[in-house]
Amino acid sequence: MPAPAENVGTFRDRIAVNRRNSLLLILIFLAFVTVLGYVIGYAWVGDPAGAVFGLLLAFAAGTVSGLATYYAGDRMVLAASRAREITHDEAPVLFNVVEEMAIAAGLPMPKVYIIEDSAPNAFATGRDPEHAKIAVTRGLLEKLDRDELQGVVAHEMAHVGNYDIRYAMLVGILVGTTVLISDFFLRTLWFGRGQRRGEGGGQIQLIMFLIALVLAVLAPLFARLLQLSISRQREYLADATAVSLTRNPKGLADALQKISSDREVLEVANRATAHLYIANPIKKFERRAKGLFSTHPPIEERIRILRAMETGGVPQQAP
């Protein structure tokens, strides 16, 4: 029997809402970087021409780092995690499970990578489904049963299908650009604030200078908080999408339980790659997972929502 229409509908609605929110966030972010570039440019040079110059500089910085990340980001991440590509015969079960989930999602078969580490964890990378890569640790293969492994792979396939990876890259670039511009401005403060032109312009310049100072100090912080909040929200969506692929919430819930109760530390993970993994690999941060600075939502909450799906119930609390 096909799935009841209203269930799938609700799920698809959820994705649509999430996509819309994502687009909105990107637009806000872009406007923010533009304003930042404009104000700093104005404060620096003292007239609208300088503001446009600052704006262009902000865009140039964003474009260069953006292109580099877009085309080489996945290779850098895989190399940093010491991931190695495998063939079907090296890990048939993993390979089959990835293929099953690619079929369930109607996506091309991603490349499969293994990380020789006993801590159970996994991540996906690649700019679009045609360039997708799924990396899994040796520990995950050994500690999880087939259903649990399928749940984890489905979660990663969900990130691929929802274009979460590209989105995360984009947000990362915007955050990086914001930090870069702010940093650049704050450093130039030590060398005076450019030349003044006439008294009238000087007053506006002074106001712009103060705004720029406040923005330059606060912007990187807000950008980072926004990035983390997006990252957390994406995990819930990927869990839900994973369930729509496997139609088995128990597998992923059990997997998350095993991963979260595992005491081993993933050596190859660091603060730059931590947000990629299915569960935060840096254990000491897990304690303050409810905080603003966490890359992941609390794993207990994710498990609770999945368990509620098992019984067909609806969780009382929205994430």
Partner 1 sequence: MGTVLTILIVVVAVVIVVYAIATYNGLVRRRNEVEEAYRQIDVQLKRRYDLIPNLLEGVKRYFRQEQDVLTEITRARSAAMQPHSPREQAQAEARLSGAIGNLFAVAENYPELRSERVLLDFQEELSSTENKISFARQHYNDSVQAYNTKIQSFPAVIFARAMGFTEREYFEAAGPERESVTVSYD
Question: What is the C-alpha separation between 209 and 144, in angstroms, rounded?
Answer: 56
Task: Report in angstroms how near the CB of residue 21 gets to partner 1 at its nearest.
Answer: 13
Q: Is 235 annotated as a binding residue?
A: yes
Which one, of 24, 236, 257, 26, lies nearest residue 120 by Cα?
A: 257
Question: Which residues have C-beta within 8 Å of that of residue 206, sequence separation ≥ 6?
Answer: none
Q: Which residues bind partner 1 (CB under 8 A)?
A: 1-5, 7-12, 14, 92-93, 96-97, 99-101, 103-106, 236, 240, 243-245, 247-249, 305, 309-310, 312-315, 318-319
Q: Active site includes 130? A: no
Q: What angle do CA 224, 216, 297 make, to 5 degrees?
A: 10
Catalytic residue among 85, 90, 116, 156: 156
Task: Report in angstroms how near the CB of residue 156 gets to partner 1 at its nearest.
Answer: 16
For the chain, the first-to-last Cα distance in angstroms comes to: 31
- What three-state secondary structure class fits 120? coil
Please tell me the total number of residues recorded for the chain in this structure: 319
Q: Is 131 annotated as a binding residue?
A: no
Rank residues 202 and 315 by Cβ distance to partner 1 and give the closer one: 315
Task: Report in angstroms how near the CB of residue 79 gets to partner 1 at its nearest.
Answer: 30
Task: Report in angstroms how near the CB of residue 160 gets to partner 1 at its nearest.
Answer: 15
How far is C-alpha 110 from the chain's CA centre?
Answer: 19
How far is C-alpha 276 from the chain's CA centre?
Answer: 7
Burial environment of residue 188 by CB neighbours within 10 A (0 to 12, 13 to 18, 19 or more): middle
Burial environment of residue 184 by CB neighbours within 10 A (0 to 12, 13 to 18, 19 or more): middle
Which residues does the annotation place in the binding site for Zn(2+)?
155, 159, 235
Q: Return the active site residues.
A: 156
